[in-house]
Amino acid sequence: MIFGTGILQGLMVTLKNFVTSYFKAPDEGGIFTVEYPEKRLPEKERFRNFPFLLYDKNPENLRCVACDICAKECPPKCIYIVREFDKDGKPLKRPAVFDIDFTVCMNCGICEEACPFDAIYMDHEFEIASADRHAKLLYHRDDLLKSNEYFHKIRPTDASAIDARRREAEEKKKAAEAAALAAQKAKEAAAAQAKPPEPPKPAAGA
Amino acid sequence: METLDQIFVLSKKGILDFLGTFLPEWVVTLACVAITIKAIAVLGPVTMMYLTLMERKVIGRMQNRIGPNRVGKWGLLQPLADGVKMLTKEDIVPHGADAVSHFLAPILIVIPSLLAFAVIPFGRGMTPVDLNVGVLFFIAVSSTTTIAIFMASWGSRNKFSVLGGMRSAAQMISYEVPMVLSVVPVILIAGSLSTNDIVLAQAGWGGLKWFVFTPWGFFAFIIFFLCGVAECNRSPFDLPEGESEIVAGFHTEYSGMKFALFYMAEFMNSFTVSGLAATLFLGGWQGPFLPSWLWFFLKTYALIFVMIWFRGTLPRIRVDQLMGLAWKFLMPLTLVNILAAGLWYFTEGAARWLITASILAGSFWLLTKLNRGYTPEKRVYLFAE
């Protein structure tokens, strides 16, 4: 071996990259860069970003019940929830205030995992830059609301799995209710059959 | 063709003729000087600005990136944006710095780079100053860069700066020797130190009788070019500003336009060194078909491309490797090369090709063997085991 052969080999590698960068595809030695604002890579389904609140059919019908679990689980504590009350001071199963501070959120997705009501999910929206970090990056309830259709659009696999699970649960619940109702009816019928003339006890007690 | 070839000379003559119609003769004489100075003073910085863009683009391509392309079409206005940014930055002088030398160094470093433009023959009849000691002038002027760099490093009162300056001094003085010795064969064959005469000595073969196509010329060219790369502190010889070791070396404490002036000097140096290498070995502005100045710029930019190519390929070498390459490899090879050029001068025909080529190839092989590092067959660990 003489001096310079290794260097020449190295130089050939970079020269090849230089030349092929003009006409080859990215995986054959071309340019990998995607010029972002004009072109963009297809979004991966599992890509996760800031959370959003899910509603079914109309924004009034949101799934969140203001249980505060996500706010407690959130590691940087960026979620703030206040339960809604009706005129009589009776608590309702919906949040009056649901704020997420996106300057604090670290996109971990623990809220999504913690939520027992399938109400909060991680979004694909990432272009939230703004000149005002205090007002524009504190997202309120109405900014966070997004429909189930949108969820189906960005994460079809997860969304249909969750929908299937919810439907199943609902059906099970309905079946259980129906069974309970049937059992109740059967019980009542049996009781009626046993002692038809006697009136029901609670009525007598009252 | 002839007009196109002489377009710059003719336009200067036209301007002077026009001025001569209503101005006294001494003003026209001054204007004659001023036009040339103006041309160089504009060419240097503009070249530097677009070399930064070229460097970023070429290295980007080598790394499968695009490089700057947002400011203007293909990023062509990027240098202007950079310039504006540099001018608006804060100028910081460290507490305890030697204010005078800290301030003077970035100014002084640009002067030799601009002076070196004076002896570069840009085209037929386009040498700004046709000195009869042009090559000597170039080497003398370009070696003064060391002083400015050392001023910068000493004036900054920063240990990294001083380390960079020390390295720079050691490196530049070491590489000056083989650089000068590799020019000797050219002077020997051309019989002149004037850059213009050296270009004229390479006339013939349809404009392709370049010195690089002879055995001694080939070796001298490679040695000169390597030393030139080391002289302008470019990668892989960029030890004075080794980012990974000593922050930024001699310009650690500089910001804003002063920092930009160091870069300006570096890029103008690489332009002039490439220009001189093209002049001495690649026939300068000699070449078939195209106008002479176009040939010169083509060759120069090809050499600058090679410099950028080096930077995109090679990691920085160690100090001992740097010194070893200069003193143990390039220096003996240049001495053999002078001998070969002498033999070439006194012999004729095929014999001189055979003699010089065999001498040079033999000594190259021998030097490779002698420079081979010592690797023990079995490593002995004194304190382990």
User: What's the pLDDT at B101?
Assistant: 87
Q: How far is A124 from chain B (nearest CA, A)?
A: 26
Q: Which H or E element spans position B296?
A: helix B292-313
* Residue B55 CB-half CA count within 13 A: 19
Q: How sure is the predictor about A206, in pLDDT bands with cuts at 50, 70 and 90?
A: very low
Give me the DSSP letters along B307-362: HHHHHHHPPPPPHHHHHHIIIIIIHHHHHHHHHHHHHHHH--HHHHHHHHHHHHHH
| Number of domains chain A is built from | 1
**pLDDT tens across the length of chain B (385 residues):** 677 777 777 888 888 888 888 888 888 888 888 888 888 888 888 888 888 899 999 998 888 888 888 888 888 888 888 888 888 988 888 888 888 888 888 888 888 888 888 888 888 878 888 888 889 999 889 888 888 888 888 888 888 888 888 888 888 888 888 999 999 999 988 888 888 888 888 887 777 788 888 888 888 999 999 999 988 888 888 888 877 888 888 888 888 888 888 888 888 889 999 999 998 888 888 878 888 888 888 999 999 999 999 988 888 888 888 888 888 888 999 999 999 888 888 888 888 888 888 888 899 888 888 888 777 788 788 887 6
In a domain, A85, yes or no: yes
User: What's the pLDDT at A132?
Assistant: 85
In a domain, A88, yes or no: yes
Q: How far is B169 from chain A (nearest CA, A)?
A: 26
Q: Which of B65, B313, B371 sits opposite A14 (nearest CB)?
A: B313
Q: Are β-strands A51-55 and A91-101 bridged in parallel, bridged antiparallel, or unpaired?
A: unpaired
CB distance A10–B313 less than 8 Å?
yes
pTM (2 d.p.):
0.79
Q: How far is A34 from chain B (nearest CA, A)?
A: 9
Our measurement of the distance from residue A205's CA atom to the centroid of its chain's CA atoms, rounded to an integer in Å, reads: 51
CB distance A26–B65 less than 8 Å?
no
Total residue length of chain A: 206
Contacts of B66 in chain A (CB under 8 A): 31, 33, 35
- Under a CB-based contact definition with an 8 Å cutoff, are residues B358 and B351 in contact? no
User: What's the pLDDT at A199?
Assistant: 57
CB distance A21–B61 less than 8 Å?
yes
Q: Which residue of A has its CA nearest to B65?
A: A31
CATH code, A68: 3.30.70.3270
Q: How sure is the predictor about A205, in pLDDT bands with cuts at 50, 70 and 90?
A: very low
Question: Measured between alpha carbons, how far is B131 from A117 in angstroms, rounded to an integer?
Answer: 88
Q: Which residue of A has its CA nearest to B363?
A: A2
Q: How far is B310 from chain A (nearest CA, A)?
A: 7
In a domain, B111, yes or no: yes
Q: Which of A11, A29, A32 sits opposite B309 (nearest CB)?
A: A11
Q: How far is A129 from chain B (nearest CA, A)?
A: 20
Sheet strands (E) in chain A: 51-55, 79-85, 91-101, 120-122, 138-139, 145-147
Q: CA dist B293 to B5, B178, B352, Å?
A: 7, 29, 33
Partners of A81 in the β-ladder? A98
Q: Which of A2, A31, A33 sits opposite B365 (nearest CB)?
A: A2
Q: Which residue of A has its CA nearest to B61?
A: A18
Nearest to B275 by CA among B153, B58, B128: B128
Q: How far is B366 from chain A (nearest CA, A)?
A: 9
Residues in chain A whose Cβ is within 8 Å of chain B: 1-3, 7, 10-11, 13-15, 17-18, 21-22, 26, 29-33, 35
CB distance A3–B329 less than 8 Å?
yes
Total residue length of chain B: 385
CB distance B64–A21 less than 8 Å?
yes
Residues in chain B whose Cβ is within 8 Å of chain A: 58, 61-66, 69, 309-310, 312-314, 329, 364-365, 367-368, 371
Question: Measured between alpha carbons, how far is A81 from A83 in angstroms, rounded to an integer?
Answer: 7
Contacts of A31 in chain B (CB under 8 A): 61, 64-66
Contacts of B329 in chain A (CB under 8 A): 3
Query: Which of A11, A12, A18 has the most B C-beta neighbours within 10 Å, making it the best mutation to test the interface with B?
Result: A18
In which domain, by residue range, is B341 found?
89-368
In a domain, A39, yes or no: no
- Under a CB-based contact definition with an 8 Å cutoff, are residues A78 and A100 in contact? yes
CB distance B313–A13 less than 8 Å?
yes
In a domain, A189, yes or no: no
Residue B239: exposure state from Cβ atoms within 10 A (0-12, 13-18, ≥19): buried
Query: Among A20-34, A171-185, B39-53, B327-341, which is the least confidently predicted range?
Result: A20-34
Q: How far is A106 from chain B (nearest CA, A)?
A: 30
In a domain, B60, yes or no: no
Q: What is the ipTM of this complex?
A: 0.76
**By three-state DSSP, how is residue A204 classified?**
helix
Contacts of A3 in chain B (CB under 8 A): 329, 364, 367-368, 371
Question: Measured between alpha carbons, how far is B323 from B329 in angstroms, rounded to an integer?
Answer: 9
In a domain, B13, yes or no: no
Contacts of B313 in chain A (CB under 8 A): 7, 10-11, 13-14
